[in-house]
Amino acid sequence: MQTSHITLPNMGCGTWAWGNRLLWGYDESMDKQLQAVFDLCVSNGVTLFDTGDSYGTGRLNGRSEKLLGRFFREYSGSNKENICIATKLAVYPWRLTRKSMVRACQCSAKRLGKNVDLVQMHWSTANYAPWQEWALLDGLADLYEQRLVKGVGLSNYGPKRLKKVYKKFADRGVPISTLQVQYSLLSTYPVTQLGVKDVCDELGIRLIAYSPLALGLLTGKYSEKDSLPRGIRGLLFRQLLPNIQPLLSCLREVARSRHKTMSQVAINWCICKGTIPIPGAKTVEQARENIGALGWYLDSNEIAELDKAAGSVDKTMVQNIFQTK
């Protein structure tokens, strides 16, 4: 079995996401607030920050990575030595060679002002352009071999594709540290149907759960009667909310008995399933609430109740179109 050379925060330390949600509605006046979020997280042992080179494009021009790098440099409290900054490299159609992935990571490092700790392939092209993928994967492995990163990971890969990449990397002596998939009480598909967690456990890969709050649906802050988000997100909420009330009721009851919030229970459920959940936070209040998901565990009966409620939902979150099998 391969062993990872990168040290990821353990469950007791907690984890965090720093991604595109951070930049929705972003303007520069938010910088101080975001620095406060970063500082609070790290001081509470939350030391894994996940972003991507496609987060903050256009006028924002890589803003997410730039902010993370600045916050890292300016932070002077405890746990700084444990901070792990992970970024995902987008598989743009103009990235066709292994050198293009190396250059992309070097650009991320320049924006961060430091080397990337964990570099990840943002998605697989297997569903639409499989010929493009292998050269880019070679570039990902090159980054590790050249010691430009401490570890490499994948995102939106299913078990079959993961095993192929694992073998290719193993032949070069390059360990795969992590795999990211969309996973929550409203998106159990990668684990329950694809079986990706079992494969990750077999291969020694840590499974990262992105969108553990299902875009906010599992926070309990939305109802059919309330004003919903605009655009596609609001349309999705209108389709799902009528069907997920039993799950939300179960989540609410567990939260009440635990003296926790629904968000905290939903995040803790992901932790209890052996994954690293990476919820986002734009405000100190959101950060404090998410930190409250750490340091305790749901019991087996609570997990079984939540599993049953999740399994009874007719309509679940739409899966990422790049998710492979």
- Give the domain CATH number at 193: 3.20.20.100
Classify residue 35: in a domain, yes or no: yes
Per cent of the chain over pLDDT 90 is: 72
Residue 266 located in a structural domain = no
pLDDT-derived band at 260, boundaries 50, 70, 90: very high
Residue 230 domain-assigned?
no
The string of pLDDT tens digits covering residues 96-106 is: 999 999 999 99
Half-sphere exposure of 320 (CA within 13 A, CB side): 23
* Structural domain count, the chain: 1
- 47 lies in which domain range? 20-216+274-296
- Give the model's pLDDT for residue 318: 86
At residue 16 the predicted structure's pLDDT band, cuts being 50, 70 and 90, is very low
- The pLDDT of residue 13 is above 70: no
Q: Is residue 232 part of a domain?
A: no
Q: Which tens digits make up the pLDDT trace of 118-171?
A: 999 999 999 899 999 999 999 999 999 999 999 999 999 999 999 999 999 999
127 lies in a domain?
yes
Does any domain span residue 98?
yes
* Alpha-carbon gap, residue 284 to 34, rounded angstroms: 8
Catalytic residues, by residue number, are 55
Decide if 62 is inside a domain: yes
Closest CA to 116 of 207, 6, 191: 6
- The reply to whether 11 falls in a domain is no
Structure confidence at residue 203 as a pLDDT band (50, 70, 90): very high
